[in-house]
Structure 1
Amino acid sequence: MGTAETLTAGAQRRRAVIASTVGTTIEWYDFFLYNTAASLIFPALFFPKQAAFTGILLSFGTQFVGFAARPVGAAIFGHYGDRIGRKATLIATLLLMGIATALIGVLPTYGSIGYAAPILLTLLRVAQGIGVGGEWGGSVLLSMEWGSVRRRGFWASWPQLGVPLGLILSTGVFRLLTDWTGASFDHWGWRIPFLLSAVLVGVGLYVRLRVLESPEFAAVAEAGTVVRRPLVDVIRTEWQKIIGSAFVRLSEQAPFYLFTSFVLTYGTKQLGLGRDGILDDILIAATAGLICVPVFGHLSDLFGRRRVYGAGIVLVAVFAFPYFGLLNSKESGLILLAIVISLIFHGIQYGPQAALIAEGFGTNLRYSGAGLGYQLASVIAGGPAPLIATKILQKTGSSTGISWYIVGCCVLAFAALILMPRTVHEPMKAATVAGSAPPATG
């Protein structure tokens, strides 16, 4: 009987990890798809009356509103995730993101409906931001709370694979369709990747509906310790951890969107490189991230979250100037090297990051606290980064200021890492066997 129970728990753990990873992959596919389009397509389609740099800035501005909406999503879905559970909330975030992305695929451009086009685009981007803002906390917790305490770094890192997987999917589809549709890509071909989101959401829903609630939350519900106002309580009692979580991500968030989104603008507009070559390099680099994220999540279980994460911060800072030096060489091999190394150094931080942030909060406040801290970084780091880099490039015509910007983010993140509390909450013990649902009542 013990063996059957163990197998049941193991099967549920695997199912939870798969559901979390598949769901985050779909969410990030949608989110990154917009980032790529904002760099290469949307300036001409939705802001055609603007000068070149102004159109790019406006396009990145619509990209930024998605980042600004992410804390809103974290607050809304974090509240319900701590009130009614991880599973139901994750189904809602997946539907919201999928519908918004598919609607972008049928959105008329400026040439058809004028200024209404960028306004509608911005509203759909806000919906994307709210969806992905609520997604991260739930997916990470569903995976982490099914795993063992000693391997939290490893189990929590699997949903983080949604970032490189989503990047590979979105960049790969974009790349394939530019070849397939040719000159028609800028007219109608760009819509297909957005419409494919509807198919992916169907797959994600099938997987997620088969998962049981996390045993840690089930134990909280059974014990009657669910908090009535988790968002209010976590802001009131754990605000230092929330702010610390946001700032510790500066060295990961801001550089990542420079390495994967702004690099498309920098490479094509500043260096005159081909779009397809840079997309191919990002695909290769994202594939390397598939290995780095779980590996460094595992290493954080062995050597500690702070040591591994701190090493990633230092390496990103050290690489800030060599990165642009390699790009500026315009040599294809060196450009590939720059992009691959940048995403490997990102993976050193992203692997242990989920557990580093989430395990600082108790189970009954974890979705709200971890999600809000994580997503606030999108406002101070991820969203502004391409805008700031574009403005620096416009003013100076040089990458030097952008490198210093990366270094500054790393300095602030390292300080936040040092100041983060070292609290690690143990899970509540469920009265039922892990892997089975709470007993029915009535």
Structure 2
Amino acid sequence: MAILQSDQLDVLSAGTSDETSEKTRMRVIMISSVIGTTVEWYDFLLYGTAAALLFNKLFFPAFDPFVGTIASLASFAAGFIARPLGGAIFGHFGDRIGRKTMLMITMFMMGGATFLIGLLPTYSQIGVWAPVILITLRILQGIGLGGEWGGAALMVVEHAPPNRRGFFGGIVQVGFPLGIVLSTAAFAAVSRLPEAQFLAWGWRLPFLISIGLVMVGLVIRLRVSESPEFLKAMKHDAPIKMPLLEVFRSYKRSFFVSVGLKISEVAWVYLLSVFLVMYGNKTVGIPKTVMLSGLLLAATLEFITVPLAGYLSDIFGRKPLYYFGAASTVLAAFPLFWLVQSGDPMTVIITMAVCMSLGHATLFGPQAACIPELFGTKVRYSGCSLGVQVAAAIGGGLTPIAATSLMAFTGHIESVSCLIALLGIFTLIATYAAGETSGSDLSKT
């Protein structure tokens, strides 16, 4: 056996050291992104649960029950409407200054707004100022989340190997179901209090503990290095002055495709997590603990199905997963409500869990890789953030309101099913129009 010379040993040692260093760096990036997105989603989704179950009583009691519910959901929608603004603002500076700085700001903004909601006096205490301040804080949440998702996705995808972007991006997306589990569990815990105590102070606790989660997330994000793709692009050329204008000049098709790819997924998940919880509890008469248990199981299952979908998109491509997920929302739009109307707790819980993974996980898992792959490095933050957040404003923010209004106007839950099926068809069309991006060279897009 030949004896290795010292210079050869040095080369092998350096290679091993570099490989270990790269794995450590990727691990830190993954942990920081998952924790960061979990905190952001916890803050954002906490409001949705509160809006569906109690904000109409606390902040909009002057209206009749239906109008109060619509007003409560409208305040929930305000966060979605603000998300494109956050995508535009943070996308602009993220493409010019860097991804890391923007992620620190968005987390601080989200956490601060959520904590202040927990301190906010109710309508009975300060009158009309209560809903006004509530909606203002919700808008700040929306702006923060609008800039968060694009930066978190890019930090991972731009660090990841080309053949594993779907999988690593899918792990980042696990922050969403984790946020659902934490926010739903928090509300499930405090909802066990006597009704008077729950309405008086119990509902505030999930909002107040958010500040501790934010501090943890900020500390971890400080350890993350800037995206190598961004540094490489800035090394060769100056940043584009107005990245958003360049998106509409050179990536117009990619922008509209990204909106279409997102719209069905975001409508489906907020139909399940907000409207269906409210419909099952108030219309069908299912205890809210059952509806929240279904949501918890659905989100827990996505710990597996979301990264699995991202992994499969690396093997089979992004488009097959999108075709499957969008078709699932179309096919399940009617059976979903028929099964919930049975009122059987086990049927409801299993239905929510299965529908969440079929119609959401298969679309959401590949998304963190697929949508950024549609844009060039110098406009990627702006392009993917705005496309996703415009779709979120339309499909996520307005879906619970549209579904509630359709139910009141038609008296038939099938009208809501038609709406969801239509959005699924939009995503199928966008998938057809999209190019396959799996394994593409990010530096050349």
Q: Same fold (TM over 0.5)?
A: yes
Match of 1:290? 303
With structure 1 as the length reference, what TM-score do the two structures score?
Answer: 0.95
Match of 2:188? 175
Q: Are the equivalent residues in 1 in contact too, given 2:42–2:179 (CA < 8 A)?
A: yes
SS at match of 2:158: helix
Distance in 2, Cα, partners of 1:11 & 1:423: 27
Q: Give the one of 375, 384, 387 matched to 2:389.
A: 375
Distance in 2, Cα, partners of 1:181 & 1:201: 29
Distance in 2, Cα, partners of 1:364 & 1:302: 28
Which residue identity lines up with residue 371 of structure 2 in the other structure? I
In the TM superposition, residue 427 of structure 1 has moved relative to its aligned partner by 3.5
| 1:89 matched to 2:102 | yes
Match of 2:375? 361
Distance in 1, Cα, partners of 2:411 & 2:212: 42
In the TM superposition, residue 384 of structure 1 has moved relative to its aligned partner by 0.7
Q: Are the equivalent residues in 2 in contact too, given 1:321–1:403 (CA < 8 A)?
A: yes
In the TM superposition, residue 396 of structure 1 has moved relative to its aligned partner by 2.5
Distance in 1, Cα, partners of 2:443 & 2:269: 35
Match of 2:5? none
Larger Rg: 2
Q: Which digits, 9 at most, give the CA deviation of each residue in 1:389-409, with x for residues without a partner?
A: 101111223211111111111
Distance in 1, Cα, partners of 2:36 & 2:228: 19
Q: Are the equivalent residues in 2 in contact too, given 1:309–1:353 (CA < 8 A)?
A: no
Which residue identity lines up with residue 339 of structure 1 in the other structure? M
Match of 1:327? 340
SS at match of 1:105: helix
Which residue identity lines up with residue 129 of structure 1 in the other structure? G
Match of 1:317? 330
Match of 1:301? 314
Distance in 2, Cα, partners of 1:380 & 1:281: 25
Match of 1:135? 148
| 1:189 matched to 2:206 | no
Match of 1:62? 75
Q: Are the equivalent residues in 1 in contact too, given 2:317–2:436 (CA < 8 A)?
A: no
Distance in 1, Cα, partners of 2:194 & 2:383: 45
More displaced stretch, 287-296 vs 179-188? 179-188
Match of 1:434? none
Distance in 2, Cα, partners of 1:279 & 1:318: 24
Which residue identity lines up with residue 298 of structure 1 in the other structure? Y
Match of 1:42? 55
Which residue identity lines up with residue 204 of structure 2 in the other structure? R
In the TM superposition, residue 20 of structure 1 has moved relative to its aligned partner by 0.8
Distance in 2, Cα, partners of 1:235 & 1:123: 30
Q: Which digits, 9 at most, give the CA deviation of each residue in 1:269-289, with x for residues without a partner?
A: 101111111111111110001
Which residue identity lines up with residue 220 of structure 1 in the other structure? A
Which residue identity lines up with residue 94 of structure 2 in the other structure? G
Which residue identity lines up with residue 441 of structure 2 in the other structure? E
Distance in 1, Cα, partners of 2:153 & 2:64: 42
Q: Give the one of 8, 31, 35 matched to 1:18.
A: 31
More displaced stretch, 395-404 vs 406-415? 395-404
Which residue identity lines up with residue 406 of structure 1 in the other structure? I
SS at match of 2:374: coil
Which residue identity lines up with residue 168 of structure 2 in the other structure? W
In the TM superposition, residue 180 of structure 1 has moved relative to its aligned partner by 4.5
Q: Which digits, 9 at most, give the CA deviation of each residue in 1:130-172, with x for residues without a partner?
A: 0000000000010111110111111111221111000000000
Which residue identity lines up with residue 45 of structure 1 in the other structure? L
In the TM superposition, residue 226 of structure 1 has moved relative to its aligned partner by 2.6
Which residue identity lines up with residue 389 of structure 1 in the other structure? A
Distance in 1, Cα, partners of 2:384 & 2:194: 42
Which residue identity lines up with residue 385 of structure 2 in the other structure? G
SS at match of 2:101: helix
Q: How many residues align?
A: 429
Q: Are the equivalent residues in 2 in contact too, given 1:255–1:406 (CA < 8 A)?
A: yes
In the TM superposition, residue 423 of structure 1 has moved relative to its aligned partner by 5.7
Q: How does 1:175-324 map to 2 (within 5 A)?
A: 175-180=188-193, 183-324=196-337
More displaced stretch, 111-120 vs 230-239? 230-239
Q: State the identity %.
A: 43
Match of 1:432? none
In the TM superposition, residue 308 of structure 1 has moved relative to its aligned partner by 1.0
Distance in 2, Cα, partners of 1:296 & 1:191: 36
Give 5+ residue unaligned stretches, structure 2: 1-13
The Cα RMSD (Å) is 1.3
Q: Give the one of 50, 65, 82 matched to 1:52.
A: 65
Give 5+ residue unaligned stretches, structure 1: 430-442
Q: Are the equivalent residues in 2 in contact too, given 1:225–1:364 (CA < 8 A)?
A: no
SS at match of 2:119: coil
Distance in 2, Cα, partners of 1:292 & 1:173: 23
With structure 2 as the length reference, what TM-score do the two structures score?
Answer: 0.94
SS at match of 1:146: coil
In the TM superposition, residue 183 of structure 1 has moved relative to its aligned partner by 3.5
Q: Are the equivalent residues in 1 in contact too, given 2:95–2:380 (CA < 8 A)?
A: yes
| 1:347 matched to 2:361 | yes
SS at match of 1:33: helix
Distance in 2, Cα, partners of 1:98 & 1:410: 33
| 1:118 matched to 2:110 | no
In the TM superposition, residue 202 of structure 1 has moved relative to its aligned partner by 0.2
Which residue identity lines up with residue 398 of structure 1 in the other structure? H
Q: Which digits, 9 at most, give the CA deviation of each residue in 1:96-138, with x for residues without a partner?
A: 0000000000111110111111111110000000000000000
| 1:398 matched to 2:412 | yes
In the TM superposition, residue 237 of structure 1 has moved relative to its aligned partner by 1.7
In the TM superposition, residue 232 of structure 1 has moved relative to its aligned partner by 2.0
In the TM superposition, residue 413 of structure 1 has moved relative to its aligned partner by 1.2
